[in-house]
Amino acid sequence: MIEVENLTKHFGRKTAVDHLSFSVRKGEVLGFLGPNGAGKSTTMRMVTGFLPPTSGDAKLCGISVIDNPAEAKGKVGYLPESAPLYNDMTVTGFLKFCAEVRGLKGNTLKDAIERVINTCFLKSVAYQSIDTLSKGYRHRTCLAQALLHDPEVLILDEPTDGLDPNQKHEVRQLIKRLGETKAILFSTHILEEVEAACTRAVIVDRGKIVVDGTPAELIAKSGTGSLTDLFRQVTTLDTAA
């Protein structure tokens, strides 16, 4: 469902992503872990076609984001980091706008909005102005727009960032449920999310994959039973000399 082949991105002399290759199958939730500046968001933007790679390719459901970007983007739901919202719209109004951009019409549009409102637990705020929402509800609204067209692939950049513990639990459970029928790639720097939501995880450091495995395999590799210890072992500390 998601195939990344030697994906590379240079910003001047800086290599943000360095020949990354990995895949995510249907029914799999892949956690994309790494310290700040490891290249997670840059990778997400290239995989979704929002940022052109220096070299390499990414395919969504077998469709190249380089050769057929419009068709590939139709297969994916994308929650970017700090996703934009129109504060003067209601939740329903915003979702209607996003659905129309996706080409949904009539009963298909209405059904899609009702489905994502129920999926993301937005019913109590459906007609509330976005600028009055808590951060948790704003985040759910952003997630809902990514689900409107019922995509086969979901790419989520820091989906629980800034949420309180209860909200994080809800979003992780939702990701786990959605991952039963979709291919999901989500980035995070919160290690507890590996066990809470992932079927598999990779750790990237300075644009390269340094560890790849199931949560149990990653814990075993640590030697101490601690993901935090493994993370520290395989990533470069900014404070290191």
Res. 20: pLDDT tops 90: yes
pLDDT of residue 17: 96
C-alpha R_g of the chain: 18
Asked if residue 44 and residue 157 are part of one domain, the reply reads yes
The total number of structural domains that make up the chain:
2
The answer to the question of residue 85 being in a domain is yes
Tell me the pLDDT tens digit for each residue of 186-223: 998 888 888 889 999 999 999 999 999 999 999 999 88
pLDDT of residue 240: 46
Asked if residue 157 and residue 61 are part of one domain, the reply reads yes
Helix (H, G, I), strand (E, B) or coil at 153: strand
pLDDT of residue 16: 95
The answer to the question of residue 168 being in a domain is no
Domain end (from 96, 128, 150): 150
Contact status, residue 46 vs residue 7, Cβ threshold 8 Å: yes
User: In terms of Cα–Cα distance, which of 182, 173, 191 is closest to 147?
Assistant: 182
Asked if residue 91 and residue 108 are part of one domain, the reply reads yes
Q: What percent of the chain has pLDDT over 90?
A: 73
The overall average pLDDT reported for the chain is: 91
Asked if residue 63 and residue 41 are part of one domain, the reply reads yes
Tell me the pLDDT tens digit for each residue of 154-195: 999 888 877 888 888 888 999 999 999 999 999 988 888 888
Non-local (6+) Cβ contacts of 64 within 8 A are 57, 58, 72
Res. 238: pLDDT tops 60: no
pLDDT of residue 81: 78
Residue type for position 225: G
CA torsion, points 116, 119, 120, 124, in degrees to nearest 10? 90
pLDDT of residue 191: 87
Question: Computed from CA positions of residues 224, 230, 233, 234, in that sequence, does the dihedral angle turn out positive or negative?
Answer: positive
Owning domain of residue 103? 81-150
From the centroid of its chain, how far is CA 168?
14
Tell me the pLDDT tens digit for each residue of 57-107: 999 999 999 999 999 999 999 998 777 789 999 999 999 999 999 999 999
Burial of 142 (0-12, 13-18, 19+ CB in 10 A): buried
pLDDT of residue 45: 93
Asked if residue 15 and residue 123 are part of one domain, the reply reads no
Asked if residue 44 and residue 159 are part of one domain, the reply reads yes
| Gap between the Cα atoms of 215 and 220, Å rounded | 9
